[in-house]
Amino acid sequence: MRSALPLLTAFALTACATLPAPIAGGNVRQDGRALLGQPTRIGALVVTPRAVVEDSRCPINARCVWAGRVVLTTQVAGPGWRETRNLTLGQPVLTHGVTLALTSVEPGKMAGAQPQPDRPTLFGFEGGR
């Protein structure tokens, strides 16, 4: 009687090789928007916002001399590679032949002593070749 073990082993190794690598942080959004720690797909890239380095935006209910900026530490993964980049709102970067940009940060900041609803920050990204 012949053993099925070599055949099962080969099948198991083949099946493992074709499965995509799991993405930390749960399900991958498909809309180019994400909360901190939540991955989202931008074309062939999977982008995960990790930490806000700077948020000096001008409040939306104030007049400012300088609009301020947002800098976001972001994990970017593509086919066969992964890196961490600091993205600045409105400033596209080129990585592995793909342009990537942090395009929105919501909600906007508010000035004054108004009570702020406890809404998580949602980051928007765009990319292309």
Predicted local distance difference test score (pLDDT) of residue 63: 86
What is the per-residue pLDDT across 33-79, written as a single tens digit (0 to 9) for each? 999 999 999 999 999 999 999 999 988 888 888 888 999 999 999 99
Sheet holding 70-78, edge to edge: 40-42, 45-55, 70-78, 81-88
Q: To the nearest whole percent, how much of the chain has pLDDT over 90?
A: 57
pTM beyond 0.85:
no
Please report whether residue 11 resides in a domain.
no
Top-confidence residue, 20 or 125: 125
Is residue 107 within 8 Å of 119, Cβ to Cβ? Answer: yes
Cβ contacts of residue 19 below 8 Å, gap of 6+?
Answer: none
Q: How many other C-beta atoms lie within 10 A of the C-beta of residue 29?
A: 15
Please report whether residue 60 resides in a domain.
yes
Please tell me the total count of domains within the chain. Answer: 1
Q: How many other C-beta atoms lie within 10 A of the C-beta of residue 93?
A: 16
Please report whether residue 49 resides in a domain.
yes
Please report whether residue 122 resides in a domain.
yes
Q: To the nearest whole percent, how much of the chain has pLDDT over 70?
A: 76
Mean pLDDT of all residues in the chain?
Answer: 81
Please report whether residue 12 resides in a domain.
no
Please report whether residue 74 resides in a domain.
yes
What is the per-residue pLDDT across 24-33, written as a single tens digit (0 to 9) for each? 445 999 999 9
Please report whether residue 72 resides in a domain.
yes
Residue-number span of the structural domain to which 69 is assigned: 24-111+118-128
Whether the predicted pLDDT of 16 surpasses 70: no
